[in-house]
Structure 1
Amino acid sequence: MRQLSIPGAWLHKPIAHTDNRGTFHEAYRAVALARATGRALTLAQANVSVSRRGALRGIHYAEVPPGQAKYVTCLRGAVLDVAVDLRIGSPAYGRWEAVRLDTYNRNSLYLAEGLGHAFLALEDDTTVMYLCSEGYAPQREHAIHPLDPQLAIDWPTDIPLLLSDKDATAPTLDEAAEAGVLPSHSVCLAYTDPRSAEGC
């Protein structure tokens, strides 16, 4: 696994084994993730979304503690998947990084608690699976507007964007900070073990 420029975000690039029957690869291995990140992913919930081309989901995050770590895989189609550091006090606060997850590269993205997550479906019927460390709890779930000019995420300009009402009316990063609903970097540090504290 390779750590991205956002501490707490890791990219898994599997090795695909191919023969005349097709391909096989390990999409997830708990030991490898724990070795890279310094902690295990406790699986509490698995979600699957199917999206039209142009569907923009996020930027979503959960209050810490307990937060919600995610391991994201594109099972069909393609997405531009984005990690955003929303942790007040983090040296990378406000920084984002995008990676392509698709049927062909079979990459997966791990995001630690306190990071924001968004993706744009690049093809129709794009199917994404998220392994989550905590179950869905609407009272702890929040969103940042994915088109916030302060973040200036470089979404493709040739695709008409489709946003949910929740995401289209979400606050900007500054508005969420002023409302006191962003995760604290120091709280993330206290919540995780010492080795993973570097990533959260």
Structure 2
Amino acid sequence: MLPLVDGELEALYERLYQPGNKLYGLERRPLHDPQFVLHWREADGEWFAYVEDVANACLAGYTVFNRLVEVDRRTDRRVRSPHSRLAPAYQRRGIASAVYQQVLDRGVCLLSGARQSPGAHGLWNRLARSYDSHYVAIAGDKSLQHLGRRVPDGAVLDQRATRRLLLGTGWELEAFAQAVQMDCA
């Protein structure tokens, strides 16, 4: 989880209810708990999910599903790299998992960032219980190379090019590899 800047969530929350603001009137989606609602927007191929705590009239946090400049166009059409920011009081409550699951359940595959905090690593491990998980490397030509379902701790896992891949609903490894021309040798 990335640290929050003071006042960041409060400012975003105000914009959600400010007529004329680009965050006003966003598509709303339910979340895993009726206390929360998700405000969803897309801009330049990236997705933004703002999690509102309706009961307390505040923003609990948000997730950005980034495009990856490190991958080729075929892969870019099928994967996003999520990064979440949640207020401390809302961490470890399943919010980020629920947001990621909505995207995975829509058939989008998720690719981890180059570095993960211990909390993010735990989140991905929990998601890997429900979604097909693999490790990949991003090659110099921006293509993916399959490393396997597990990689040894240390040298391979610590390389910036090594990422974790969660396949969205409806994807199997073979079909994903063919769609993005991933090397599975």
Instruction: Name which one, 1 or 2, has greater alpha-carbon Rg.
Output: 2
TM-score by length of structure 2 reads: 0.32
- The structure with higher relative contact order (CA 8 Å, sep 6+) is 1
TM-score by length of structure 1 reads: 0.31
